[in-house]
C-alpha cells in the first residue's frame, strides 16, 4: 500500500473511532436521561405537603389554593406559580415561602397579616399591610376572622397598580414614602387605632380623622413627628366631648376650631 493509501486508511480509522465515541457518549447520555426520568417520575414525586403559619385559612385550604397535588413531580413544582396561586385565592397573607425537601416533601410557610389599611378602587376595597403590601380584596373574600382589626382608610385617587401579593404602586411615587412615614409615626405614638382615615388626595394638604371627633389638617408630611405630637397635645387639653378641627400644618402653632355642642 502506498503512502497515500495509508493516509486514507488512517483518516477512515480516526473517523470510525470518533463515530464510536460519539455513539457511546449519546448512549450513556440517553441512559442517564432515562434514569433521571425514572427517578423523577416514580421516586421524586410529591407525597407530603406541610403548611406552617396558617390560622386564618386551614391547611387544607392553603394546599388547595397552591394547586400542588400528591403525585406531582417535584421538579415540575414552580415556586413562583405556587405563590401566585395562593396570593390570588387566599387573603391576609403578606409572605409565602416554598421549600422542597427531596425526595417527596413540599413545605409551605405562610406569614399572615389581617391588614392595617384599606383603599377603595372602583367598586373594590383592597386591604394593605402596614408596609403597604396588598393582602386581600374585600369583594373577593369573606372575612373569617374572629375579630376584625382596625384598619385606616386611605383616600388616594391615583393608583397605578394594586395586585394582591404585591406592594401597591401610586402614580406619584413619592406618595408611598409619605404614607409609610405617616403611618409609622402614628403607630409609634400608639394612636393608629384612633385614626379613621388618612386623606392623601393632595399630598400637600393631608388630612386625618382622629377618634371620629377631630378633623386634623396636617399639611404635607414634613415634620410628621412634631405635627403628630402637637395635635395629640391639643386633644389632651380639650374636653372628652369636644369635637372640631385642628390645623397643625404650621408647626409653630395649632389652630383649633371647636364645633358647637348641642
Percent helix, strand, coil in the chain (nearest 5)? 35, 30, 35
Residues 34 and 52 in one domain: no
Cα Rg of the chain, angstroms: 31
Residues 200 and 84 in one domain: no
CATH number at residue 85: 3.10.20.310
The answer to whether 119 and 153 have CB atoms below 8 angstroms apart is yes
Bridge partners (DSSP) listed for residue 254: none
Residues 52 and 36 in one domain: no
**Rounded to 5°, angle at Cα 166 from 164 and 170:** 100
pLDDT at residue number 173: 87
pLDDT at residue number 41: 60
Residues 6 and 126 in one domain: no
Q: How far apart are CA 260 and CA 243, in angstroms?
A: 8
Residues 230 and 254 in one domain: yes
- Picking from 112, 135, 167, the residue at the C-terminal end of a domain is 112
Residues 244 and 128 in one domain: yes
Residues 195 and 124 in one domain: yes
Q: Element (H or E) spanning 94, and its range?
A: strand 93-101
pLDDT at residue number 157: 83
The answer to whether 179 and 126 have CB atoms below 8 angstroms apart is no
Number of structural domains the chain divides into:
3
Sequence-separated (6 or more) residues with CB below 8 Å from residue 136? 91, 92, 115, 126, 127, 164
pLDDT at residue number 63: 95
| Whole-number Cα distances in Å, 219 to 178, 198, 199, 250, 254 | 12, 12, 11, 8, 12
Residues 140 and 16 in one domain: no
Q: What is the pLDDT along the chain (262 residues), one digit of tens a residue?
A: 555 555 555 555 566 666 677 767 877 877 777 666 666 665 688 999 999 998 888 999 999 999 999 999 888 899 999 999 998 888 889 899 999 998 899 999 999 988 999 999 988 899 999 999 999 887 655 555 556 789 999 999 889 999 988 999 999 988 999 899 999 999 999 999 999 999 999 888 999 999 999 999 999 888 999 999 999 999 999 999 999 999 999 888 899 999 987 6
Structural domain that includes position 237: 117-258
Residues 35 and 122 in one domain: no
Residues 123 and 250 in one domain: yes
Amino acid at each position: 500500500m502506498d503512502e497515500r493509501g495509508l493516509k486514507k486508511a488512517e483518516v477512515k480509522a480516526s473517523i470510525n473511532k470518533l463515530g464510536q465515541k460519539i455513539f457511546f457518549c449519546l448512549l450513556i447520555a440517553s441512559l442517564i436521561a432515562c434514569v433521571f426520568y425514572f427517578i423523577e417520575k416514580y421516586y421524586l414525586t410529591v407525597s407530603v405537603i406541610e403548611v406552617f403559619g396558617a390560622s386564618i385559612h386551614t391547611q387544607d385550604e392553603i394546599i388547595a389554593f397552591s394547586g400542588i397535588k400528591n403525585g406531582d413531580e417535584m421538579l415540575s413544582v414552580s415556586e413562583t406559580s405556587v405563590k401566585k396561586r395562593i396570593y390570588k385565592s387566599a387573603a391576609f397573607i403578606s409572605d409565602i415561602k416554598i421549600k422542597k425537601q427531596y425526595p417527596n416533601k413540599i413545605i409551605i410557610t405562610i406569614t399572615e397579616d389581617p391588614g392595617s389599611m384599606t383603599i377603595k378602587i372602583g367598586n373594590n376595597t383592597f386591604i394593605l399591610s402596614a408596609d403597604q403590601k396588598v393582602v386581600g380584596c374585600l369583594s373577593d373574600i369573606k372575612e373569617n376572622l374572629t375579630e376584625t382589626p382596625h384598619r385606616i382608610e386611605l383616600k388616594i385617587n391615583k393608583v397605578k397598580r394594586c395586585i394582591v401579593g404585591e406592594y401597591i404602586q401610586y402614580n406619584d411615587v413619592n406618595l408611598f414614602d409619605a404614607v409609610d412615614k405617616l403611618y409609622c409615626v402614628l403607630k409609634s405614638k400608639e394612636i393608629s387605632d384612633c385614626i379613621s382615615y388618612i386623606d392623601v388626595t393632595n399630598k400637600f394638604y393631608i388630612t386625618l380623622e382622629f377618634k371620629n371627633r377631630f378633623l386634623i389638617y396636617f399639611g404635607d408630611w414634613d415634620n410628621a413627628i412634631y405635627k403628630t405630637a402637637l395635635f395629640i397635645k391639643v386633644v389632651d387639653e380639650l374636653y372628652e366631648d369636644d369635637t372640631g378641627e385642628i390645623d397643625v400644618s404650621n408647626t409653630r402653632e395649632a389652630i383649633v376650631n371647636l364645633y358647637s355642642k348641642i
